[in-house]
Chains A and B, each alone.
Chain A
Amino acid sequence: MPLRPDTVAKIQDYARRYPSAQSAILPALWAVQYEQGYVTDEALAEVATHLKLPPSLIEATSSFYSMFLTRPEGRHEVMICVNAPCMLRGADAIVAYAEQRLGIRDGQTTSDGAITLRSTIECLGACGGAPMMQVDHRFEENLTPDRINAIFDHLRTAPAFHEQPPAEKKPARRTPTVSGEITRSGPSGARARTRKASK
């Protein structure tokens, strides 16, 4: 599937913005994933033509980075960190609870295509709010079973980001915070940004 004209325009912009077009590879791949939900070989080849670089170079770079998906997954991605600081606050139990609630195992997608669940050893930068999860890259912290239920219920019906009507530019919202405390920075039931359901 060829890239949409607006995505192509973005990629060409990136190529001009950097001192070297090669630096535009990561932003270009983000634009691809943002549009199509994952990065196909076909899209890699197209990025190569727009950046005027060999396809092998695009692939060499893209395969290094864990956030680019190579196959379709659920409309929403739920990531739970299980590194030591999160483990100390009960992350393992949260993973077990999420698995049971969704009826899937780590790495799987629910049968309705709504949610892909992943536990990760990569710290997601919310250790102070552990146990935590990232829902489509929005933070959810200090999780309780009730909160998890509410998040999952919302995701079951929420469309993936690219299927929503164009969002109006949201005001830069300040999260309520007490000095010295980390806050939940995502709106609850965060919107999907980068994933697309399997076709």
Chain B
Amino acid sequence: MGLKPVLTKDFGTEGLRQLDAYERTGGYAGYKKALSEIKPDDLVELVKKSGLRGRGGAGFPTGNKWSFLPKGMYPRYLVCNADESEPGCFKDRYLIEESPHQVLEGILIAAFAIGCNTAFIYIRGEYLPQYEALESAIEEATAAGYIGKNVLKSGFDVDVILHRGAGAYICGEETALLTSLEGYRGEPRLKPPFPAVKGLYGKPTVVNNVETVANLPHIVVNGADWFASMGTPTGKGTRVWCMSGHVNRPGNYELENGTPIRELIMEHGGGVWKNRRLKAFQPGGASMMVLLPEHLDVGLDFDAIQKAGSLAGAGAMVVMDETTCMVDAARRYVKFFHHESCGKCTPCREGTFWMSNLFDRFEFGEARPGDVDLLLDMGYNIDGRSFCPLGDASTWFPRSVIKYFRDEFEQHIAEKGCPFRKETEAAVAVA
């Protein structure tokens, strides 16, 4: 347990963004090994055996996802999901920024494994420097013969298309991503059929997260047993946790799965800033439920965090100290979901609008007795009734905050406004 740099092992090497430096650290050895020694079907088995689960949010076993592709149906597509827009998440950005070739090598290995000749990277529009890093990595890899026809005389043809989004969180949801990539408004589609059966342009498609594919070169080189020896029984390997909020050292930390949350926050993050007390923290990103100091000994692992009442999601850790207004934190998230709701379904479009209004009432002193229950009622009417998980997830953090901090809502009503506002000092001494 603890810090375990696998993906981030060579980060900091001079020139790592360039092909030659990346290759000096062992880069593209996995791709070459896969092409020359391993049959695609065996590669799928290898990834299944490793126990790798998707790092994009849902934690679905990667090898299993690949094996759902219907036999004999071509073309097939691979889309690497680099839309990272979940508030609190910045790990994919870090992985791309530091080592774009590692991500690209993972994509090429995945494409080879599933028999895909055209792979896509869908990157959010705001990540312009990261887009450029990937663009030059693709150029270099093409010049080196890793992308193109008959790669390294293996008979494998592959092309990689880098596609830039334009500011829509919903396009991180895999079906909305595919709709967007096809050139439509980025609205989600009904599942089933799942993308594996009917995805991009109606063809079998795999969508994998940036961090998921970045694991593949290491699994190919070091083997499934090596990967499975790290982490917990149901959460193998490591994860890059992006920590933000009230800690001394926010940033990205790659930890073996199962490492206690306490170690991440207190040791690597240097503890809560300004010698304040920890009030709450939130794993997973904006969507996920809040946890309390009593949960500090929970392990960083999909199943352990779920048992504690939240979800590991995309590996964010937002830390909140004792001066945090939980109502205001929830209000910002709800505003975000309202802003990002694609408008396709009513519960999400209208529900997030009303929730956002109600939160403003709390924050600005217009909330009335009974409004907390009204908020809960709205939550119940959105969750499970929305077309895609965006609507559902918009209710999870607020409802968990009501569960643990209901008195703060009541205080907002009683004091006609935010009791924290005057106490909160600005984090930066503004002149």
Do the two chains bind?
Answer: yes
Q: Which positions in A face B, CB cutoff 8 Å?
A: 17-20, 22-27, 29-30, 57, 60-61, 63-68, 82-85, 87-90, 92-94, 96-97, 121-131, 134, 137-139, 143-145, 172-175, 177-183, 185-186, 193
Question: Is the Cβ of A123 less than 8 Å from the Cβ of B335?
Answer: no
Q: How large is the interface on B (under 10, 10 to 19, 20 to 34, 35 or more residues)?
A: 35 or more
Nearest B residue to A137 via CB reads: B128
Instruction: From B75, B254, B426, give the contact of A93 (CB < 8 A).
Output: B426
The distance from the CB of A190 to the nearest CB of chain B, in whole angstroms, is: 9
Task: Identify A87's interface contact among B3, B18, B98, B332, CB under 8 A.
Answer: B332
A29 contacts B166, CB within 8 Å? yes
Flag if A94 contacts B428 (CB, 8 Å).
Answer: yes
Bound-state Cα–Cα, A97 to B127, Å: 25
Q: Tell me, in angstroms, the Cα distance from A107 to B209 when the chains sit together.
A: 33
Q: 4 closest pairs, A vs B, by CB?
A: A90-B427, A22-B183, A93-B426, A65-B166
Determine whether the beta carbon of B268 is less than 8 Å from that of A180.
yes
Please determine whether A128 and B12 come into contact, CB atoms closer than 8 angstroms.
Answer: no
Chain A residues with CB under 8 Å of B429's CB are: 145
Tell me how far the C-beta of A199 lies from the nearest C-beta in chain B, rounded to whole angstroms.
Answer: 24
Nearest to A145 among chain B residues (CB) is: B431
A137 CA to B128 CA, complexed, in Å: 6
Pairwise interchain contact A83-B336, C-beta atoms closer than 8 A: yes
Instruction: Identify B14's interface contact among A30, A124, A174, A181, CB under 8 A.
Output: A174
Contact of B426 with A177 in the complex, beta carbons under 8 Å: no
Indicate which residue in A83, A97, A127, A193 contacts B242 across the interface (CB closer than 8 Å): A127
- Interface hub of B16, B185, B244, B268 (most chain A Cβ within 10 A): B244
Residue of A nearest to B250 (CB): A128
Taking a contact as CB atoms under 8 Å apart, the answer to whether A67 and B166 are in contact is: yes
CB atoms of A127 and B90 under 8 A apart = yes
Minimum C-beta distance from B352 to chain A (A): 12
B118 touches A (CB below 8 Å): yes
B182–A23 contact, CB under 8 A?
yes
Provide the bound-state CA to CA distance between A180 and B249, in Å.
9
Which residues of chain B from 408 to 431 have any CB-CB distance to chain A below 8 Å in the complex? 426-431
Partner of B136, one of A57, A143, A172, A179: A172
The answer to whether residues A88 and B318 also contact, given A23-B181, A23-B183, A175-B97 and a CB cut-off of 8 A, is yes
A177 touching B12, Cβ below 8 Å: yes
Name 12 extra pairs, CB < 8 A, besides A19-B75, A127-B250, A145-B428: A17-B161, A60-B184, A65-B168, A88-B319, A121-B332, A121-B335, A123-B286, A127-B87, A128-B252, A137-B126, A179-B8, A183-B97
A-B contact pairs, 27 of them (CB 8 A): A26-B163, A29-B166, A61-B184, A63-B185, A65-B125, A84-B318, A85-B87, A85-B316, A87-B332, A88-B245, A89-B245, A94-B428, A122-B126, A122-B167, A122-B336, A122-B339, A122-B340, A127-B242, A127-B245, A128-B244, A128-B252, A129-B250, A130-B244, A174-B98, A181-B252, A182-B94, A193-B128
Most buried by A among B3, B168, B169, B430: B430
Q: Are A20 and B201 in contact (CB under 8 A)?
A: yes
With a CB–CB cut-off of 8 A, which chain A residues contact B86? 123
Q: How far is the CB of B318 from chain A (nearest CB, A)?
A: 5
- When chains A and B are docked, how far (Å) is the Cα of A97 from the Cα of B430? 7
